[in-house]
Structure 1
Amino acid sequence: MKILYVGPTLPDARERAGDIIVHGPAIQGDVFQAVEEGAAVIGIIDGGFEYTAPVWHKEILYALSAGVTVVGAASMGALRAAECHLFGMIGVGKIFQEYRDGIRVDDSDVAQVHGPEELGWLSLSEPLVNVCATLDALVDRQILSSGEADHLSAVARSIFFKDRTWRSLLEHADLIDENRRSPIAAALQRLAVNQKRADAIELLTVMSQFADIRSIPELEWQFQRTTLWNEMVKQHSVARVTGNLS
């Protein structure tokens, strides 16, 4: 069984997933549950983080220790892959590479506001990783000067992730010549690069290449069942029995 956790980064994931079972963004306990249910390959793209406990590194280690292939990209998956790749988690895509190499360090670079699944995970803000990818593309196409791109990048970083949109970006860009605002706005809308989506699609390709079978792990570390881990397992077991597990 292959399981993928994804939401606003790839709203059409189910149409692209083939034999991969698609769930919404991962929260704490989801990966543990997937392992207990027999998953052989787990992909993480999106994850909850503000109003719920995020997917725990410990449960990823648990999955790896059980021979499960765990792959991450694009959003929460890229963060967890950068943090856990030394333990065997596989990272995919440019965003993962930037976190792994220390080019990016702020979790909020991938954060975005979005609507519910019922509204197609409608995006309501622009994640910084997409802004930066777009600015780089416009410089490469000589639509933006490097100075304009540097200024817009700095402005984008200064805007709280919930408020970051193409409109708010230009509204705060006080060093952009007034004659340049209209063509820049048009270029940002027309040529925007969705790096998160690109990395998510790459993850689907990688997941499809793995056999749907657990491996015999050869690890240089040993999974430790700590007090916190045992408490999480206990709470999870109670939730399953009472039917309160989403």
Structure 2
Amino acid sequence: MKVIFAGPTLHGANLPPSTDYELRPPARQGDFFGAIQDGANVIGLIDGIYEYVPGIWHKEILFGLSQGVHVFGAASMGALRAAECSAFGMVGLGEIYEGFVSGVLENDADVAQSHGPAEMGFIPLSEPLVNVRATISQCFQRSQITSAEHDQLQDAAKAIFFKDRTYRRVVHSAIQHADRAGAVLAVLRANNVNLKLHDAQLLVETVMSTPDCRFIPDFSWTFEATSVWNGIFAIVKPE
């Protein structure tokens, strides 16, 4: 059994039809453990929920690894957790993951975005900073915006709260001239770089190509079921 946790990052993605994995909503605390208990042998983490409920716990990931579950992370919450847990065996994928590992990215706000509910397909309602930064940089490299506009747009994007960050908001915060602002907005939208989606697609491909079986754990660490762990995730053993 293979499970991928995803939401807004994969919204509108043209993924090949497959029965090779089960797509579940963004993970919250307990969902990862639940997938393992359901029999998942391979888990891919893309999106997670953390604002109104407890986020996926690192110890859930360590538990999965201790049970021989292949665990991959990319694009969003998955990239964050992979950077934090790579030393224990979680595998990170993609440019965003590499950014967190190298220190180029340091904040979860870099990948955060507002989105609609499951009933609306987790439709994105704001733009994640990693995508906006990449888009602005690409437009500058193509000489579609000036050096000054590049710097002003990057500063504006970083200063806007993640729930409020849209290309319109970024442009109108950075460029005062109405006609030029309209032109720049059109350029950014036409050249949008969806870095999160690119990394997420890489994870999907990796999960699909990974054998649907667990590995034999051989780590230098041992999973410790602490009292806190047992209080949250009491494992019922068969009689």
CA distance in 1, matches of 2:14, 2:82: 22
Are 2:99 and 1:88 equivalent residues in the alignment? no
Cα distance per residue 1:188-217 (max 9 Å; x no partner): 111111111111111111111110000001
* Structure 1 residues 3-82: aligned runs within 5 Å: 3-12=3-12, 16=16, 18=18, 19-82=20-83
RMSD: 1.7
* Structure 1 residues 1-246: aligned runs within 5 Å: 1-12=1-12, 16=16, 18=18, 19-174=20-175, 179-234=179-234
Same amino acid, percent of matched pairs: 46
Offset of residue 120 of structure 1: 2.2
Contact 2:149 2:174 in 1 (8 A): no
CA distance in 2, matches of 1:16, 1:22: 13
Contact 1:6 1:13 in 2 (8 A): no
Contact 2:13 2:197 in 1 (8 A): no
Contact 1:130 1:193 in 2 (8 A): yes
- Cα 1:14–1:29 change in 2 (3 A) is farther
CA distance in 2, matches of 1:167, 1:30: 35
Unaligned runs of 5+ in 2: none
CA distance in 1, matches of 2:34, 2:54: 15
Offset of residue 12 of structure 1: 4.8
CA distance in 2, matches of 1:13, 1:43: 16
Offset of residue 179 of structure 1: 4.9
Offset of residue 224 of structure 1: 1.1
Amino acid across the alignment from 1:205: E
| SS of structure 1 residue aligned to 2:184 | helix
Cα distance per residue 1:98-129 (max 9 Å; x no partner): 01111111111111111112212221111101
| SS of structure 2 residue aligned to 1:103 | coil
Unaligned runs of 5+ in 1: 238-246
CA distance in 1, matches of 2:70, 2:151: 39
Which segments of structure 1 move beyond 4 Å, counting only runs of 4 or more? 12-15, 176-179
Number of residue-to-residue matches in the alignment: 235
| SS of structure 2 residue aligned to 1:9 | helix
Offset of residue 145 of structure 1: 2.6
CA distance in 2, matches of 1:16, 1:27: 26
| SS of structure 2 residue aligned to 1:193 | coil
Offset of residue 16 of structure 1: 3.4
Offset of residue 64 of structure 1: 0.5
CA distance in 2, matches of 1:6, 1:89: 17
Length-normalised TM-score, structure 1: 0.91
CA distance in 1, matches of 2:126, 2:38: 35
| SS of structure 2 residue aligned to 1:223 | coil
| SS of structure 2 residue aligned to 1:225 | coil
CA distance in 1, matches of 2:164, 2:34: 34
Offset of residue 182 of structure 1: 2.2
Contact 1:68 1:214 in 2 (8 A): yes
Amino acid across the alignment from 2:166: T
